[in-house]
A and B are shown apart, each in its own frame.
Chain A
Amino acid sequence: MTELDPVIHAQARLRVVASLSTLGEGDKIAFPRLQELLAMTAGNLSVHLRKLEDAGYVEISKTHRGRTPATLVRLSRRGRLAFEEYTEAIRSLLDLTPSKEQS
């Protein structure tokens, strides 16, 4: 599985990207909500989001909701494309190597 995108091909980041991919293309989610959905610690999620941001896969914006600052996360177009390609690659791997546990 060497040709798989190394940014996404890590359990934690794959979960982050899979989660974000369920949002509409123009939608952003608040950091604490994403953290809750993924059941990850804030520090851990931050680390993975930074890696995804460095790759241009997620966009992070700071804003204000009333007076409280809020961090919003969104899957970029590039990130969405990378996730779709990754999923395709995984599917074709499964088609080529039919495994016993395939359900």
Chain B
Amino acid sequence: MDLDDDLPPADAAAALRLIQDQRSATARRLDPDARLLYWPWGVAWLVGFGLFFLRFPPGDSELVRLPGWLPLTVLFALLLAAAAVQAVASARAYGQVTGDSARRGRWYGCAWGLGSVSVYAGTGQITEYLPHDRAGLLWSATAVGLTGALHMAGGAIWLNRDLFRLGVWISVINLVGAIAGPGWHALVVAAAGGGGILVAGALARRRQRERQRL
């Protein structure tokens, strides 16, 4: 189809089809696949906190014999990988678009980065005074709590109900896990948190496809 000309569309139906095709094609290219933004994080939580639970369950004995350094190392490696996937997918989609959306994304990214650093600076100061299991709970409950709050904030920034709901869900399960105590917290975050992110990713993808068909 050669459109490099000044000719009007053949008729109204052709014009409408051209508008719809062009809009959905553009939206598809300028919007990263929602699964790439959610699922790597869901997998990281599911596997990382899952290993944490197996190695450091409630009580004194481990459920599965694993080196003590393994769960945290795997968790951090998977979180880094998820961040990398998100960064690449976002850069490919939004890379050449500037303006309000880009500024929103940049400031939101700053909130994550600086927010984490400032929170962990305080946590790091008191870790050494706590027993191992309490220290673990403090770190993970703080990290998950911050994640929940920032997801809710993200929902507010982009008026995205699903993102907001995911933030509420993460905050609530974090609360439940923190009350349940060390060990249980990791299980709750792995299953309900990781699982919740996977479900949210599938929902976001479905909505994205509906939007892109318009």
Q: A residues within 8 Å of B by Cβ?
A: 1, 4, 9-15, 18-19, 21-30, 32-33, 37-38, 40-41, 44, 72, 74, 87, 90-91, 93-94, 97, 99, 101-102
Q: Are B19 and A22 in contact (CB under 8 A)?
A: no
Q: A11-B8, A97-B12 given as contacts; is B18 within 8 A of A23 (CB)?
A: no
Q: Are B30 and A26 in contact (CB under 8 A)?
A: no
Q: How far is the CB of B207 from chain A (nearest CB, A)?
A: 16
**Alpha-carbon separation in the docked complex, A9 to B101 (Å):** 29
Q: Which of A19, A30, A38, A91 has the most CB of B within 10 A?
A: A19
List B contacts of A26 (CB < 8 A): 99-101
User: When the two chains form the complex, which single residue of A12, A14, A94 contacts B12, counting CB atoms closer than 8 Å?
Assistant: A94
Q: B residues within 8 Å of A by Cβ?
A: 3-9, 11-13, 15-16, 18-19, 22-23, 25-27, 29-30, 95-102
Q: Are B100 and A25 in contact (CB under 8 A)?
A: yes
Q: Are B96 and A24 in contact (CB under 8 A)?
A: no
**Given A24-B100, A37-B29, 16 new contacts (CB under 8 A):** A10-B5, A14-B18, A15-B18, A15-B22, A18-B18, A22-B30, A25-B100, A27-B100, A27-B101, A30-B97, A32-B96, A72-B98, A90-B12, A94-B16, A99-B13, A102-B13
Q: Are B8 and A1 in contact (CB under 8 A)?
A: yes
Q: A11-B3, A24-B100 given as contacts; is B22 within 8 A of A18 (CB)?
A: yes
Q: Which of B8, B16, B19, B29 has the most CB of A within 10 A?
A: B19
